[in-house]
């Protein structure tokens, strides 16, 4: 925890105030003025009177992340929507409890918060970690992941939420997209033109669909290599500068799971050609790169070799 939040934090003071408020409400025969009803959902607004039930008691089952904020706080307005988004994505593994420190100063005092925004993780009725300031999303995700990993066997709500989320993901995966089914069927029966058209229709509707883009590259490659005579490798070996032979031979080598040989062949041809021919060879090599994971070390090495050949 941060230095300002280190050590034990006694939450009993707010519990006593909440109990007193409940007694006052009962004596008055109605809801206390200004006290909101018990909140629910992934994001809840918390006051001093609801802190015991909405934070302390809830934290016995699931992780509760308390966001100390104020309307006048600029960084709070950056952090708040991000925390809201992450809480709604968590499928109940944790809940976000938002506390307006102007309306509820005792909660901020309780945690010894020296600045806002301050975010405090509560588990088992006690603070377990905290940070201050509007951190970037990757750091907050890493922080939350670490907390959930640590607390998974201690808070039953975390494991239950993860199991429910896994079931939902499995159900989503089982629901096949008929557009992809059509394209895959065409590819399997060797109708490359229809498969390409099907993937292009998907991209017309969803230009950023990465799965369709990758599949379209594979279809075009399969169509291109379907009619190539493997003997073109010998032709290219006999004349490494021949661009057409080099491109066809590289396609055959990639199709036969020898991408390193294919990349080296095209780079060698790029070194000895110029102008439009060189550009054609480079474009062909880049198309082959797109058939692989960008993190593939063979692709990374070939990209470095390509840069050396060009410059």
**Residues labelled catalytic:** 73, 76
Q: Which residues contact 292 (CB under 8 A, 6 or more apart)?
A: 259, 298, 299
220, 226, 228, 234 alpha-carbon torsion, rounded to 10°:
100
Q: What is the distance between the alpha carbons of residues 16 and 127, in angstroms, rounded to a whole number? A: 18
**Contact present, 252 and 241 (Cβ < 8 Å):** no
- Beta strands per DSSP E along the chain: 43-45, 63-69, 94-100, 118-123, 126-132
CA 177/CA 168 separation, integer angstroms: 16
Contact in structure between 258 and 302 (CB atoms under 8 Å): no
Q: Is 154 helix (H, G, I), strand (E, B) or coil?
A: coil
Indicate the SS3 state at residue 48. Answer: coil
Contacts for 123 with CB less than 8 Å, ≥ 6 apart: 59, 63, 64, 147, 151, 154, 155
CA 102 centroid distance within chain: 34
């Amino acid at each position: 925890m941060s230095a300002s939040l280190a050590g034990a934090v006694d939450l009993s003071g707010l519990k006593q105030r909440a109990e007193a408020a409940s007694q006052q409400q009962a004596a008055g025969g109605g809801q206390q003025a200004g006290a909101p009803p018990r909140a629910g959902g992934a994001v809840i607004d918390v006051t001093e009177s609801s802190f015991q039930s909405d934070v302390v008691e809830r934290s016995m089952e699931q992780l509760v992340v308390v966001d100390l904020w104020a309307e006048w706080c600029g960084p709070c307005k950056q952090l708040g929507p991000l925390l809201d988004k992450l809480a709604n994505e968590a499928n109940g593994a944790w809940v976000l409890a938002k506390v307006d420190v102007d309306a509820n100063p005792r909660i901020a005092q309780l945690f010894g918060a020296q600045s806002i925004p301050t975010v405090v993780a509560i588990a088992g009725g006690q603070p377990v970690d905290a940070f201050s300031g509007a951190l970037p999303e990757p750091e907050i995700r890493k922080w939350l992941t670490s907390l959930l990993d640590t607390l998974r066997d201690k808070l039953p709500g975390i494991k239950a939420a993860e199991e429910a989320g896994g079931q939902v993901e499995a159900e989503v995966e089982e629901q096949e997209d008929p557009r992809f089914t059509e394209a895959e069927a065409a590819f399997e029966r060797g109708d490359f033109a229809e498969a390409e058209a099907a993937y292009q229709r998907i991209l017309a509707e969803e230009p950023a669909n990465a799965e369709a883009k990758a599949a379209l590259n594979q279809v075009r490659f399969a169509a291109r290599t379907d009619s190539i005579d493997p003997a073109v490798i010998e032709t290219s070996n006999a004349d490494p500068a021949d661009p057409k032979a080099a491109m066809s031979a590289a396609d055959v080598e990639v199709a036969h799971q020898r991408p390193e040989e294919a990349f080296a062949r095209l780079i060698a041809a790029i070194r000895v050609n110029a102008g439009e021919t060189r550009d054609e060879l480079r474009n062909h090599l880049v198309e082959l790169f797109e058939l692989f994971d960008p993190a593939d070390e063979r692709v990374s090495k070939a990209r470095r070799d390509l840069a050396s050949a060009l410059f």
